[in-house]
Structure 1
Amino acid sequence: MALIENYKIVALKNKFSIFLLAILAISTGIMSFVFYFNNIDFGIIQYKESTLLSNSFWKLSLDIHIIFGAIAISTGWLQFLPIFRAQRLNIHRMIGKIYIVFSFN
């Protein structure tokens, strides 16, 4: 009986961990989009020289990095859901491929 109770505690901790991971990942992705679309000079951007900020290649690279990173972070947590993988294997694989591509930008 103790083994069943321990399993329930572990299962509850895992659900809470996945829930927390999902909230943090989605929040980080949303925050990235908010900063990107509102042109907020935050973090490392505020310390860059104006010549670098006016470079169109650097700006394009940063834009791709922010967008792809936000998408990778926002969708990556889904890969940790066992029921998602079991019931929707094709979507799980597609999100995995998207995550891999967007992670290596």
Structure 2
Amino acid sequence: MVKKLLFIIIIVLALFTGLLFPSIYLFVEEKYTFLNSKIPEVTNNLIWKISFICHISFGGLSLIIGWIQFVEKLRKKSSILHRKIGKLYVLSVIISSITAIYIGFFANGGFISAFGFICLGILWFITTIIALISIKNGNIKKHQNFMTYSYACTFAAVTLRLWIPLLNGLLKSPELAYLIVAWLCWVPNIIVAYFINKHRKTIKE
């Protein structure tokens, strides 16, 4: 019961974040969004702007559809649908992670936050590619484990937005909060994914 409730919460947060935040950046004036904190040299850079739009759009899509792959009943009911959603998820992550690595170099807060977001983008890309290669090689267990790591990285979009207001309230320093959240938004997710995979291994063996 608790496990199902937690999964429902994850779905709601994923759908809310995946739909709302890309829409904000696509349809709301920049001065009312996070982009207002960026210097004009960055926001006026066409490559950065295209990368940012690709990142939030395909990142939002991967967040919206990724959780579906963990619903065992749906996976067993239609393996074809599972594969099609999986291909769309992988494509979305590849685009969003590569652009995330690029825009990470322009992150607010300097080296510490930039390095945190760049590491996230690289890990997101690598775990997804390993999961893809694993299933092509017929290694289902490794595929499941690395897809769990991949979606843990995807879910950083949610945890970032949960941590930011909490850190701002506790630290009273948006600059320090941003430095911390660049790491806090994804490192605990990976740790949780590790224990999920470990538990999955225990169950199967």
TM-score by length of 2: 0.42
Matching of residues 30-49 of structure 1 within 5 Å: 30-41=19-30, 42-43=33-34, 45-49=35-39
Q: Secondary structure at the match of 2:28?
A: coil
CA distance in 1, matches of 2:5, 2:37: 38
- Letter of the 1:101 counterpart: L
Structure 1 contact 18–80 (Cα < 8 Å) conserved: no
Letter in 2 for 1:21: I
1:24-46 deviations in Å (ceiling 9; x for gaps): 11011112232122235433x22
Which residue identity is paired with 1:33?
Answer: P
Residue deviations 1:36-95, cap 9 Å, x none?
22235433x222111221111111111111110000001111011000101021111111
State the partner residue of 1:60.
50
**Large movers: runs of 4+ above 6 Å:** none
Aligned length: 93
Tell me which residue corresponds to 1:28: 17
Percent of aligned pairs sharing the same letter: 28
- Which residue does the alignment assign to 1:18? 7
Q: Distance in 2 between matches of 1:21 and 1:93?
A: 22
TM norm structure 1: 0.78
Letter in 2 for 1:58: W
Question: Which protein has greater RCO, CA pairs closer than 8 Å, 6+ apart?
Answer: 1
Paired residue for 1:90, among 63, 80, 91?
Answer: 80
**Paired residue for 1:99, among 70, 84, 89?**
89
Quote the Cα distance in structure 1 between the aligned partners of 2:29 and 2:59: 17
Q: In the alignment, which of 70, 75, 97 is matched to residue 80 of structure 1?
A: 70
Structure 2, gaps ≥5 residues long: 96-205
1:17 and 1:38 map into 2 onto residues whose CA distance is 31
Unaligned 5+ segments in structure 1 are 1-11
Write the letter of the residue equivalent to 2:17.
T
Kept in 2: contact 1:69–1:103 (CA 8 A): yes
Instruction: Give the whole-Å Cα distance in 2 for the aligned partners of 1:103 and 1:56.
Output: 21
Bigger CA drift: 95-104 or 57-66?
95-104
